[in-house]
Structure 1
Amino acid sequence: MKGIILLVLGIGLLHTASAATHSLKYFYTGSSEVPNFPEFVAVGMVDGVQMFHYDSNSQRAVPKQDWVNKAADPQYWERNTGNCKGSQQTFKASIDIVKQRFNQSGGVHIFQYMYGCTWDDSGVIDGFRQIGYDGEDFLVYDMKTFKWIAPKQQAEITQHRWNNNPAEIAQRKSYITQECVEWLKKYLDYGKDSLMRTVPPSVSLLQKTPSSPVTCHATGFYPSGVMVSWHKDGQDHHEDVEHGEILQNDDGTFQKSSHLTVTPEEWKNNKYQCVVQVTGIQKDFIKVLTESEIQTNWDDPAPNIVLIIGVVVALLLVVVAVVVGVVIWKKKSKKGFVPASTSDTESDNSGRAAQMT
């Protein structure tokens, strides 16, 4: 399932045409015996921004962005709530089936499904679909043949059944190449003021103690495509550098850190720079590593609050990513959009995700 998490966190090449590539992704997670966590969670994301959420505790599909309601018909949320309730039961049954195949009885287990599509302004369409169990790939969809591949022997039964079902093959191909892209374009149209915006980062150099790594912390930027790198005397520097993950702030912007382990003598005798590049912004944001630029808590603990918050948020998102799989595997009509499909999520004829068989 590392592949799923990497896809969630993946960023495009900076200052290139990749900024025009857009995505619609869904993450379904079923869990067994995970304390204090819903047994089923569904999350929808457009260009890395969460716009839809359902969990088995609330039993409701709800929007996470105001513009989603503009793209939805009046029955959208009731319909998707019903679909998610059906998928919740499907995932519960699927976990039991997979546990039997691995000769497992109880214990903590996670069953994940990620699917979606990408589309760019030149009309190139691609898609992805993966199923994972306990952090590893269980079934992977081949977009060239529109067939399933089974990395695990325990998945071969399902692989053969699904690959020999012509109706299901046609439905899954149609969803990725047509329906998913239709909804993606519609979401981009209604949410363009938010999704298409660019916000520059705030960049700081932080350090706990004189012997601690120096952290270059970029926050408040949008979109999520970012490159945080260190330069030494004008050249890319990769030695003793550790990069953090991209995390989302409460306001929908993002943050990312990069940590450099270097002695004070070394950075005082050489020119070290942190360079931040954000997709869609034709400007580099640079901080030169000097004593005056470093914010520290050597004398005052207040400046280190940012570091503490960043660590807490990172730990929380890592937990969510493991369980939920999220850090974690355009034409507008004045009368409103009338979609070919009444739901943007993939499902079988019963309105739920396909059950493991």
Structure 2
Amino acid sequence: MRHVLLLLLGAHLAYARKHSLKYFYTGVSGIDEFPELTVVGLVNDEQFMYFDSNTMKAVPKTEWIRQNVGADYWDSQTRTDIGQHQYFKNNIQVAKARFNQTTGVHTFQQMYGCEFDDQTGATNGFRQLGYDGENFLDLDFKQLRWISPVQQGFSTVQKWNNNRALLESDKQYFSTECIEWLKKYLQYGKSSLEKTVSPQVSLLQKSSSSSVTCHATGFYPSGVKITWMRNDQEHHEDVEVGELLPNEDGTFQKKSTIRVTPDEWKNNKYSCVVEHQGKTKTANEIRTNPGASVPIGIIVGAVAAVILLVIIGVAGFMVYQKKKGFKPVNASDDGSNSSTHSDPKA
């Protein structure tokens, strides 16, 4: 999730990347007091708007969007999201009936949007729906047709694939209007989205017999690669790479854990190499963290990450992590229109 222009022209040419506009919609049933619908919009994985069905109001989450759009924009966004609230409530009930469920906690989610490569000019769009954390429907833009990996989605696939007007509308939207909104948002947030912050890298271990964690935090943009080295050779055995997580200040964190015995660590040269924006940082000294003495920065970042992940429903949305995006509409020069739209019933 995760890419912006660099300040230096030379670095920009070498590390140009894709930019993305994406929204996550999460409908929930069966949890008292928790919003039945939450909506989070992100540009290059930086959250810029939020809505939930408890407050019934779309609000800005960054200064750059607050300064560049007016009340009409937020009124339009709010009206659209209120409409989506009923859409998601209905679709949860449809999905429950198809899966022969009557009780319990259930989620119905949607992720859609677009991205473009600032070097090649290539664009792409995405639209996916999920139920209870599993893929339910996926729009294949190359073939312009809906597909589903589960039998319960087949009737919707047939219905939507027979609606050529809807398919052509999606195709036109994702290839033009969505990209226009993305470029507009990138211009609005230029000073913030073009920042580059290098990661802080630490090796952490709870005890001498515990796994060793390489923790990279505080970096922006989000593209980062963590590699373990053993005696100056890349090492992939017993390595587990964690998910990218947001920090409270808009930067990111990521970790990679290696399982190794104390004797193996002592008798071999292990190190962690973190690559970010063409630069590398290496860590080979372990910081032992007995008990709860984890650095406060990691605690704050992890708490903020958990809060944000709960909001956007990532816990049940992991199936979509390799694709990104969302769908704004009605682009206008003054930014007075909402960047969301309504969806057909399943």
User: Which of 340, 343, 346 is the matching residue for 1:353?
Assistant: 343
**Alpha-carbon distance in structure 2 between the residues aligned to 1:40 and 1:259:** 35
Pairwise CA distance, 1:198: 0.9
Residue 204 of structure 1 is matched in structure 2 by: 202
Residue 283 of structure 1 is matched in structure 2 by: 279
Runs of 4+ in 1 over 6 A off after TM superposition: none
**Alpha-carbon distance in structure 2 between the residues aligned to 1:201 and 1:254:** 9
**Alpha-carbon distance in structure 2 between the residues aligned to 1:188 and 1:307:** 29
**Alpha-carbon distance in structure 2 between the residues aligned to 1:18 and 1:154:** 43
Question: In angstroms, what is the RMSD of aligned CA positions?
Answer: 2.9
Pairwise CA distance, 1:261: 2.0
User: Which of 104, 108, 111 is the matching residue for 1:111?
Assistant: 108
**Alpha-carbon distance in structure 2 between the residues aligned to 1:113 and 1:294:** 41
Which amino acid in 1 is paired with 2:217? T
Residue 145 of structure 1 is matched in structure 2 by: 143
User: Which of 56, 73, 76 is the matching residue for 1:76?
Assistant: 73
State how 1:1-357 maps to structure 2 within 5 Å. Answer: 19-121=16-118, 122-278=120-276, 281-287=277-283, 289=284, 293-298=285-290, 302-303=293-294, 319=310, 322=313, 329=320, 338=333, 342-345=337-340, 347=341, 352-356=342-346
Q: Is the CA contact (8 Å cut-off) linking 1:206 and 1:307 kept in structure 2? A: no
The structure-2 alpha-carbon separation of the partners of 1:186 and 1:70, relative to structure 1 and needing over 3 Å to count, comes to farther
Provide, for residues 35-91 of structure 1, a one-character-per-residue CA deviation record: whole Å limited to 9, x for no partner: 442111111111111111111111110111111134424400011001000000111
Residue 332 of structure 1 is matched in structure 2 by: none
Number of matched residues?
329
Q: Is the CA contact (8 Å cut-off) linking 2:228 and 2:235 kept in structure 1? A: yes
Which amino acid in 2 is paired with 1:114? M
Which amino acid in 1 is paired with 2:288? T
Pairwise CA distance, 1:166: 2.7
**Alpha-carbon distance in structure 2 between the residues aligned to 1:267 and 1:255:** 25
Q: With the length of structure 2 as denominator, give the TM-score of the two structures.
A: 0.85
Which amino acid in 1 is paired with 2:204? L
Residue 3 of structure 1 is matched in structure 2 by: none
Which amino acid in 2 is paired with 1:338? D
Q: Which deviates further from its counterpart, 176-185 or 153-162?
A: 153-162
The structure-2 alpha-carbon separation of the partners of 1:152 and 1:271, relative to structure 1 and needing over 3 Å to count, comes to same
**Alpha-carbon distance in structure 2 between the residues aligned to 1:327 and 1:86:** 26
Residue 7 of structure 2 is matched in structure 1 by: none
Pairwise CA distance, 1:172: 1.0
Which amino acid in 2 is paired with 1:296? T
Which amino acid in 2 is paired with 1:284? T
